[in-house]
Structure 1
Amino acid sequence: MRKILANIGWIFFDKIFRMAIGMLVSLWIARYLGPAEFGVLNYATLFPTILAAFAGFGLTNTLMVEFVSNNGNPLEQRRLLQTGLFIKLLAGCLMYGLSCCLNYILNRDNPQLFFLINVTGLILILQSSDIIDTYFQSQTKAKLSVVVKLISFGLASIIRVYALLTKQGILFLALINIAEMVIVYGLIVGIYQNRIAKIASNFRQAISYELIGQLLRISWPIMITEFFVFVYMKVDQFMIESLSTDKELGLYGAALRLSETWYFIAIAINTSFYPKIAESWSVNKEKFYKQYQELINVLTYISIALAIFVSLFSHQLIDLLYGADYEHAAIILSVHIWAGVFVFTGVGTNNLMIIKNLQKFVLIKTIAGAFINVYLNYLLIPEFGALGASIATLIAYGLQAYVLNLFFKPARTVFNLQSKSFINFLTLQRPMTVKIS
């Protein structure tokens, strides 16, 4: 238990520290650029990530489960890591090439945006370092990757401040983001090689077509699901850019900075507690579900408390942090923050869906959520701009992450866990701490 709390403590420290410093620098950038240019930078950063799911191939969640199930077999864990890294590197290179092609077709007449997107698209290759980060988290060694991220983030933040003080342009700011990822990649690979094993050691023997096929068979539904998760989480920004204005996109981006910045809490709690909860699955199902209910309770209480607070003080927060130019972002924020309730409970039940072999159902309901979101955005954005996108997002998240679980019998257990957590909050039941014995 002490090891788990230390692990979650390091993840929280990393996220809170980076959130605090990153928020200050991001606010400075938003004020410096103004809503219109801030919208352009957001769009350039967002564009290549539409292919991120295919570059990641759904391996992060799959390998978390595999690393945990092979805790007593370090050689197999190393083999899984090497194979996963190979798959993600190859897929990342292919997706970066595709991103450049799509960018040429759509944005070749806008040289600045075209170059910005090609620079930010390198994230598709660099995200492969997530495999090593996932391994460290599965072994409750989050401290190792946290130190790497803090060093990289600190250096990048100093350069961002320099860029703002010397009035550098958007391209310079985009290059800093990629430089940060390059530093993370180099350091995290170096730490793994010094502390655990040489990645290149027996690399050819570790890469087998059988293991690649096994991982891809498990992961492909997750990969497609993650793509449609991106669609229903990020398509609103693409549609604002095409159906409204850069200024509306900048306002929406400002609201999202404050709304989505809290999602790390759900990820940190879930990632740290899940490995120990999972140990009860094959031994004691009753204990497993009791612990899982407690986990969902904690996530629900935290997310609703955050939503209430941010909704009540959205105008004050926007005015204080962004200034008068962004005043219309307050109503956008007060609506969008409630989507986080369904994000928190969705993150909490992701691993349960995998362990119950419900990946295909998750894929189907995610596709449904994506189409609902696109349709609602198409109806609401022309009339209400970024506020319409927030309303569409809230409805789509609620349907996808919660309501649709009711209509598929094997997933009804998940629906019941979520419903009970909502009822516990409404009836003022004391939130329970997740106890791992």
Structure 2
Amino acid sequence: MAKQKSLKLNFIMNSILTMSQFIFPLITFPYASRVLMPSGIGKVNFAISIINYFSMFAQLGIPTYGIRACAKVRDNREQLTRTVHELLFINIIVTMISYIGLALAILFVPRMHNEKMLYVIISFTIVLTTIGMEWLYKALEQYTYITIRSIVFKLIGLIAMFMLVHSKSDYLIYAVITVVSSYASFILNFINARKFVDFKPVGHYNLQQHIKPILIFFSMSIAVTVYTNLDTIMLGFMKNDVEVGYYTAAVKIKGITVSVVTSLGTVLLPRAAYYIEKGENEKFEILAKKAINFVFLIATPLVIYFIIFAKQGIFFLSGKAFGPSVVPMQLIMFTVLFIGLSNITGIQILVPLGYEKIVLYSEIAGALTDLIINFILIPSLGSSGASIGTLVAELVVLLVQYFGIKNQVPDLFKTVKYYKIIFAVVLATLASVWVQMLNLHVFLALVISALCFFGVYGITLLLMKETLVTEITQEILQKLHLIK
């Protein structure tokens, strides 16, 4: 039996990975947005949104299903090898079909044909994701490897960004750097995979067993990709690249904060699947309730802080040219909480329990909601309309999953001490809102306000003896040898 990884180590490494994922754009996006301006940023992000649909088809539902399938057999090298071979074979076939569809789209869709080199560059994300088998490494909880590898390539991208992107015409170079920094490391995944699985055929393959669950996960992936990329695509077709640029800046901070909030759920999925497979239901429920509490504790202050200091955040990250992004950002920030919770209820709870269809229904409901609201609001409100569409869609996803899960894990949301979180947020707001009146440089305003807000928030929860905060603090102090 393979040695089980430390869940705390996994979380620490994934948190470092998450930090690198938002520190990188925090450094590069302010520079790139000022050089490329809303039109250049909008052009690249519109192309990324289009390619995401082809990537979605190429990956089917394997990125999520693969974690669960491999986690169940990770103690047996031969079974793990067989599972990986089966999934990779399916993945490669569908990737080839996806590229045929992309080639036809580039040839016959005028907007794509006019920027064919941009679409070819970004399309490398499809093949790199396929050979990267990230699902295998997550199933085996190889978060130390994933983190180190990712940070190295992000540093390469960071250096390349400042060396090579100097004018509005450099948007193709920006696209190459984006692909390399996030996906080129997947080449190492393929090479490194021999440590965990054999490359030689093991025989007795059964591809058919994967088809039904993959199609369910694929349907989930369709729904998610539709409503996560729909806003950008509809803005691009119904408005223009400039409006897409404003929306991109608005969702950039949201994306960064979402990655922080969902970092725990990422490391818990393979462990949750493992517990279910072994019949350790009590451990599974404890894990789920802690995860929900974690999301409320982390997401709530992030949402409130960035609503209050949205203007400073946008001006720091993108520049004053992106002023119209402030309101869309404020509108969309509550999705951070909704996504954090649905990530736990859906991916960490319903999926390991085998209730993928409930997750699928929730995401279909979200996609339809987003589509309808976008059609109604984008023509008149532009990027703000797109933000409202996403906000309502994510709420619908969470509500559908909640009603599907309430009988599976009783009292899931009742263990959270909401009054402590609300009281701490109110005090944190009062402790930081005065910074708005000082007319400071945006960076200085963000630093001072963040120290005041999150400092008061954390201290208040400690004084109120919030269980999870106290537990984490004690563990940190023990690691530093400050307490026994």
Q: Give the unaligned 5+ runs of structure 2.
A: 425-463, 473-484
Name the CA shift for 1:286/1:256 in 2 (closer, same or farther; >3 Å). Answer: same
Structure 1 position 392, deviation (Å): 1.2
Q: Tell me which amino acid in the other structure corresponds to 2:353.
A: K
* Corresponding position of 2:103: 100
Greater alpha carbon shift after TM alignment, 363-372 vs 65-74: 65-74
Which of 239, 261, 270 matches 2:265? 270
Kindly name which structure, 1 or 2, has the bigger radius of gyration based on alpha carbons.
2
8 Å CA contact 1:82, 1:206 repeated in 2: no
TM-score (norm 2): 0.80
1:44-193, aligned counterparts within 5 Å?
44-107=47-110, 111=114, 113-131=115-133, 133-165=134-166, 169-180=170-181, 183-193=184-194
Name the CA shift for 1:272/1:110 in 2 (closer, same or farther; >3 Å). Answer: closer
Q: Deviations over 1:233-262 (max 9, x none)?
A: 110111111222221110100111111112
* Corresponding position of 1:237: 232
8 Å CA contact 1:266, 1:348 repeated in 2: no
Taking the aligned partners of 2:52 and 2:204, their CA distance within structure 1 comes to: 27
Structure 1 position 278, deviation (Å): 4.4
Q: Tell me which amino acid in the other structure corresponds to 1:369.
A: G
Indicate whether 1:316 and 2:326 are aligned.
no
8 Å CA contact 1:61, 1:351 repeated in 2: no
Taking the aligned partners of 2:331 and 2:410, their CA distance within structure 1 comes to: 23
Identity of aligned residues (%): 18
Q: Tell me which amino acid in the other structure corresponds to 1:144.
A: Y
Taking the aligned partners of 1:9 and 1:236, their CA distance within structure 2 comes to: 33
Q: Tell me which amino acid in the other structure corresponds to 1:201.
A: K
Q: Tell me which amino acid in the other structure corresponds to 2:122.
A: T
8 Å CA contact 1:406, 1:415 repeated in 2: no
| 3-state secondary structure, aligned to 1:214 | helix
Taking the aligned partners of 1:398 and 1:283, their CA distance within structure 2 comes to: 32
| 3-state secondary structure, aligned to 1:327 | helix
TM-score (norm 1): 0.89
Name the CA shift for 1:294/1:250 in 2 (closer, same or farther; >3 Å). Answer: same
8 Å CA contact 1:30, 1:322 repeated in 2: yes
Structure 1 position 352, deviation (Å): 1.5
* Corresponding position of 2:338: 342
Structure 1 position 396, deviation (Å): 0.9
Q: Tell me which amino acid in the other structure corresponds to 1:192.
A: A
8 Å CA contact 1:39, 1:246 repeated in 2: yes
8 Å CA contact 2:154, 2:181 repeated in 1: yes
8 Å CA contact 1:55, 1:124 repeated in 2: yes
1:374-393, aligned counterparts within 5 Å?
374-393=371-390
Name the CA shift for 1:416/1:201 in 2 (closer, same or farther; >3 Å). Answer: same
Taking the aligned partners of 2:414 and 2:244, their CA distance within structure 1 comes to: 34
Name the CA shift for 1:224/1:411 in 2 (closer, same or farther; >3 Å). Answer: farther
Taking the aligned partners of 2:378 and 2:100, their CA distance within structure 1 comes to: 31
Name the CA shift for 1:407/1:197 in 2 (closer, same or farther; >3 Å). Answer: closer
1:343-422, aligned counterparts within 5 Å?
343-349=339-345, 350-400=347-397, 402-405=398-401, 407-408=403-404, 412-413=407-408, 417-418=412-413, 421=416
Structure 1 position 153, deviation (Å): 2.1
1:189-204, aligned counterparts within 5 Å?
189-193=190-194, 195-198=195-198, 200-202=199-201
Q: Deviations over 1:34-66 (max 9, x none)?
A: 112211111112211112222111112222222
Name the CA shift for 1:358/1:273 in 2 (closer, same or farther; >3 Å). Answer: closer
8 Å CA contact 2:132, 2:189 repeated in 1: no
Q: Deviations over 1:96-149 (max 9, x none)?
A: 2212212322226852x2321122122122111442x33223323211222222
* Corresponding position of 1:29: 32
Which of 456, 460, 468 matches 1:432? 468
| 3-state secondary structure, aligned to 2:232 | helix
Q: Deviations over 1:8-40 (max 9, x none)?
A: 222222231242133211221111011122111
8 Å CA contact 1:156, 1:176 repeated in 2: yes
Q: Tell me which amino acid in the other structure corresponds to 2:37.
A: G
8 Å CA contact 2:10, 2:143 repeated in 1: yes
Taking the aligned partners of 2:221 and 2:310, their CA distance within structure 1 comes to: 30
| 3-state secondary structure, aligned to 2:120 | helix
Taking the aligned partners of 1:416 and 1:373, their CA distance within structure 2 comes to: 30
8 Å CA contact 1:405, 1:414 repeated in 2: no
* Corresponding position of 1:12: 15
8 Å CA contact 2:268, 2:348 repeated in 1: no
Q: Tell me which amino acid in the other structure corresponds to 1:196.
A: F
8 Å CA contact 2:77, 2:197 repeated in 1: no
Name the CA shift for 1:391/1:415 in 2 (closer, same or farther; >3 Å). Answer: farther
Taking the aligned partners of 2:182 and 2:308, their CA distance within structure 1 comes to: 36
Taking the aligned partners of 1:405 and 1:266, their CA distance within structure 2 comes to: 18
Which of 285, 291, 294 matches 1:295? 291
Taking the aligned partners of 1:148 and 1:95, their CA distance within structure 2 comes to: 27
